[in-house]
Amino acid sequence: MKKFYETETHFADTGDRKIAYRSYGKGKTIIFVNRFRGTLDTWDPL
């Protein structure tokens, strides 16, 4: 599995906003929702 700093950040377009996400590993999808003003890097390292 790649390290968090080696993983590409992707974006989902929701119309008026973009949602950034990173995909790691295999298996079932887990979605983490950050708090207000949180960032993807809040969850690093995985």
Mind listing the pLDDT tens digit for each residue in 4-40? 678 888 899 989 988 888 887 888 988 777 767 767 6
Indicate yes or no: pTM above 0.85: no
Residue 44 lies in a domain: no
Left, alpha or beta for 19 (phi > 0: left; psi -120 to 50: alpha)? beta
Higher pLDDT, 12 or 44: 12
Residue 12 lies in a domain: yes
Question: How many domains does the chain contain in total?
Answer: 1
Residue 16 lies in a domain: yes
Residue 5 lies in a domain: yes
Domain of 9?
1-26
* Residues whose CB falls within 8 Å of the CB of residue 44, separated by 6 or more in sequence, listed in order: 4, 5
Residue 34 lies in a domain: no
CB of 20 within 8 A of CB of 9?
yes
Residue 15 lies in a domain: yes
Amino acid 24 reads Y
Residue 18 lies in a domain: yes
